[in-house]
Amino acid sequence: MDEPPLLLAGPGDVVAVLPHVLGARPDGSVVVFPIDPRRPVARADIPTTSENYGDLAQGLAKSFERFIGGQVLVLAFTDQLERATSVCDAVAAALEPETTVVDRIAAQGDSWLRLGDTRPETINQGTITQADRDRVAVAFIGRGDRQPYDTLSQLRASFGPVDEDLSAAVMASAERMDLVGGWAPAAAVEQRWMTHTIEGFVARPVPLAANDAARLIGDVQNVPLRDHALGLMTHEESGAHAALWKDLLTRSPEDARTPVANLAAFGAWLHGDGMGARLALERVTDPANSLARLLDTAVERGLDPAGWTPPVTEPIDCRQRLGGPPNRHDPRREPPSHEGPDRKRPPR
């Protein structure tokens, strides 16, 4: 059953919801927030000098080229009013007339201010109360999301490596699948173990023990097993899958990181977390990897994951051998097929 949308009544609600949409408080950012929840939110750092506002604005406008005709708010999160006005004006000028900018907002902390021509019949400034923030937080926590980080740098750091060396165990797991993974009975057993382990985390999201974490990281170095992990993800449980693979990403040895980063990015994208997907992709160590490039394109273009359908997976026939040796990160391989646009929006 779908959750009811979170209704946003004005600029204050938008300011309150954005840390949950982005995963962190967006201080120092300019954000384009669409009225239509099916369209993506775009964010960029506010440049330190106004000479760069034009390039920033053109980049944000380019990301909205395929969404011509919509209405958006442009928000600048800074305590410098002149800076907020200038960057919002530059972004609005680049977006219009194809996209209608209905409001330009400066925000800092719990306060917001409507910029430009104010209208007597509207509220032109306000303060976000704790009750407002609690109402928004309850809606997102109900979806399985965690509380946002205080800063974007903290959010990025949460994808970084932790002090845990699983290198030997991961290598042993990957080498074991290289030896036996081409034999159907062994591959079928490993698929069943993966399904049991992943579904166990989804039901009870506790970090995996070191031996299970290393085994799962090693398994997804094998392309068919990586695809099996992709195929287990659903829209409803995508947040839990993203959390699992993000945790494993922080524990992965560098040379095993790419497929784990791809799985973390795919789970985040499927959950509507474009920022999380982008930060996971920053951890990819193989720039030529085709799945990483495909996911990067999906996030960059703001594609809606609502059109993606999980593939129908067939259990391996244990009576037969698989043809040829197992693949390890073949950059030519594509993920399970999907159609339609990408990036699901938060509830409103």
- Measured distance CA(32)–CA(60) in Å, rounded: 8
Distances (CA, A) of 310 to 2, 232, 337: 18, 7, 8
Task: Kindly list the domain boundaries of the chain, sorted by start residue.
Answer: 11-150, 167-307
Q: Which residues are bridge partners to 42 per DSSP?
A: 32
C-alpha neighbours within 13 Å on the C-beta side of residue 344 = 20
Closest alpha carbon to 126 in 103, 101, 148, 149: 103
Give kind and range of the element (H or E) at residue 77. strand 71-77
Q: What is the DSSP letter of 150?
A: S
- Measured distance CA(287)–CA(107) in Å, rounded: 37
State residue 216's pLDDT score.
97
Q: b/e for 155-164, b at 16 or more Cβ within 10 A?
A: bbeebeeeee
What dihedral do alpha carbons 31, 34, 38, 44 form, nearest 10°? -20
Give kind and range of the element (H or E) at residue 33. strand 29-34
pLDDT at 33 over 90: yes
pLDDT at 345 over 60: no
- Measured distance CA(217)–CA(214) in Å, rounded: 5
Q: Do residues 333 and 327 lie in contact, with contact meaning Cβ atoms separated by under 8 Å? A: yes
- Measured distance CA(134)–CA(82) in Å, rounded: 31
Is 1.25.40 the CATH classification of the domain at 167-307?
yes
State residue 252's pLDDT score.
97
Between 12 and 332, where is the model more confident? 12
pLDDT in tens, 268-292: 999 989 899 999 999 999 989 999 9
Out of 39-43, 61-65, 315-319, give the one with best mean pLDDT: 39-43
214-217: long-range pairs with CB below 8 Å, 24+? 214/166, 214/169, 214/170, 214/172, 214/173, 215/169, 215/173, 216/248, 217/166, 217/170, 217/173, 217/248, 217/251, 217/252, 217/253, 217/256, 217/260
Q: Give percent above pLDDT 70 in the chain.
A: 84
Confidence of residue 9 (pLDDT cuts 50, 70, 90): confident
N-term to C-term CA, the chain: 16
Average pLDDT over all residues of the chain: 85
pLDDT in tens, 211-224: 999 999 999 999 99
Q: How far is CA 226 from the centre of its chain?
A: 19
Q: Which residues are bridge partners to 166 per DSSP?
A: none
